[in-house]
């Protein structure tokens, strides 16, 4: 938890207590329904919470903005971002019902009012969002096919609406068809070897239709 405060020192007492509660809730629910590897739960704050918050070092979500987390699994990156941005609306989806069950338990335990989690396939979502966030779901080509036309036409943020995807390693090949993609290196932001090759990929994808 100290790691979170080191990089996000302006958290309110409510946000601090919500972040602290994550360990207890995930430990309890992971024992019943495995959504995070057992080893990772010991490093929950670095590998899941801080990694998710890497997106917040690239983009500050505005009050009233709508964000979708595609393939949220146990709630990453959506849950940590929803704690950090309580005035922003988050929609978390995954095709696996038991993962959404855990996410809903976390939402209830933390009394998060700005998050809705549903069992849903990305391709079937029929809404528009300012940004679509994700981690470890699929390659960029498939992802763009799934969510094309799901970013809002109207722009609220400094950057054009689009995708913020947490990815690792050499992305040259994967991003070759996306010349507008920008890689933000988390190595330069978080001083921990876990972030060595980790990046936030921003791809502007405003719906023009």
Q: Indicate the annotated binding residues for S-adenosyl-L-methionine.
A: 71, 76, 122-123, 135
Q: Could you list the residues known to form a binding site, using ranges.
A: 71, 76, 122-123, 135
The least distance separating ligand SAM from the CB of residue 166, rounded to whole angstroms, comes to 7
With contact defined as beta carbons under 8 Å apart, do 94 and 121 qualify?
Answer: no
* Helix axis angle, 97-110 to 13-32, nearest 10°: 150
Instruction: Please name the residues in contact with 191: beta carbons below 8 A apart, sequence gap of 6 or more.
Output: none
The least distance separating ligand SAM from the CB of residue 120, rounded to whole angstroms, comes to 7
With contact defined as beta carbons under 8 Å apart, do 140 and 175 qualify?
Answer: yes
* C-alpha 104: how far from chain center: 16
The binding site for ligand SAM (CB under 6 A) comprises 70-74, 76, 93-96, 99, 121-123, 135-137, 146
Report the alpha-carbon distance of residue 35 to residue 62 in Å, rounded.
29
Report the alpha-carbon distance of residue 61 to residue 22 in Å, rounded.
21
With contact defined as beta carbons under 8 Å apart, do 152 and 186 qualify?
Answer: no
Report the alpha-carbon distance of residue 148 to residue 205 in Å, rounded.
8
Phi, psi of 201 (to 5 degrees): -100, 125
């Amino acid at each position: 938890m100290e790691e979170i405060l080191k990089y996000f020192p302006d958290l309110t007492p409510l946000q601090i207590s919500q972040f602290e509660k994550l360990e207890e809730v995930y430990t309890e629910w992971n024992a019943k329904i495995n959504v995070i590897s057992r080893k990772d739960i010991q490093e929950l704050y670095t590998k899941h919470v801080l990694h998710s918050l890497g997106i917040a070092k690239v983009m500050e979500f505005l009050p009233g903005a709508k964000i979708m987390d595609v393939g949220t699994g146990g709630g990453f990156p959506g849950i940590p971002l929803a704690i950090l941005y309580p005035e922003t609306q988050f929609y978390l989806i995954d095709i696996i019902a038991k993962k959404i069950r855990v996410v809903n338990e976390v939402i209830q335990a933390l009394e998060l009012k700005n998050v809705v989690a549903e069992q849903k396939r990305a391709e079937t979502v029929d809404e528009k969002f300012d940004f679509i966030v994700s981690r470890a779901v699929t390659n960029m080509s498939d992802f763009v096919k799934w969510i094309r036309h799901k970013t809002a036409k109207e722009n609220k943020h400094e950057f054009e609406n689009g995708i913020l995807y947490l990815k690792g390693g050499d992305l040259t090949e994967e991003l070759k068809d996306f010349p507008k993609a920008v890689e933000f290196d988390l190595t330069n932001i978080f001083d921990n070897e876990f972030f060595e090759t980790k990046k936030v990929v921003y791809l502007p994808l405003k719906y023009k239709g």
